[in-house]
Amino acid sequence: MESADVNVTGTLMWYYHICHRQVWLIARHIVPEQDHTNLELGRFLQETAYTRNKKEVTVGHLKFDLIKKKDGQLVVGEVKKSSRYQESATMQLALYLYELKELGIEAKGELLFPEEKKRINVALTPELEQKIEQVKKDILRIVYLESPPQPVKGKYCRNCAYGNFCWA
């Protein structure tokens, strides 16, 4: 990969907490199996859940699932199919809050799990900011590797849309 500036996106942050090999693949625009059940379900939830809120808002290199005003405060929402990936989702949302803060915009976050009817508030703390900065550096390290990290069999591999890139 050329040494052009790479922006750490929410997707890279999400996958960093699931699989470093996926970070490398996504950074190179290597697309997973598009008709994979999990991807189709995710797209369906994006289109049908929380229809009253503003959808798919892009700010620079970031794409939020939804935004709204609540009690005069800007709230960024991230819609996920399951709380099983709560750590990844929290870090993705925290990156959005961090990047907005860098632009001078204060916001809060909400993780939304429509199938579980669950909502989790996320606030940017100094500890979370420090973690975001460390993870961003490590994501860039992975992105600039000449070849992808070796596949590591993990708990998320069984349902992964990138399975053929690792285990075929």
User: Which residue range is the domain that position 119 belongs to?
Assistant: 10-163
> What is the full per-residue pLDDT of the chain (168 aa) written as tens digits?
554 578 999 999 999 999 999 999 999 988 876 554 554 555 555 565 555 555 678 888 888 888 888 899 999 999 998 898 899 999 999 999 999 999 999 999 999 998 899 999 999 999 999 999 999 999 999 999 999 999 888 887 877 888 777 876
Residues in the chain: 168
The answer to whether residue 2 sits within a structural domain is no
The answer to whether residue 140 sits within a structural domain is yes
- Joined together, the tokens standing for residue 74 give 């800007």
Domains identified in the chain, total number: 1
Helix (H) or strand (E) holding 112: strand 108-113
The one-letter code for the residue type at 32 is P
CATH number for the domain that contains residue 25: 3.90.320.10
φ/ψ (deg, to 5) at 162: -95, 10
What is this structure's pTM? 0.83
Residue 5 burial by CB count (10 A; 0-12/13-18/19+): exposed, middle or buried?
exposed
The one-letter code for the residue type at 5 is D
The answer to whether residue 5 sits within a structural domain is no
Pairing of β 108-113 and β 73-79 = parallel
The answer to whether residue 128 sits within a structural domain is yes
- Joined together, the tokens standing for residue 26 give 């996504």
CA torsion 13-19-25-28 (nearest 10°) is 20
The answer to whether residue 3 sits within a structural domain is no
The answer to whether residue 144 sits within a structural domain is yes
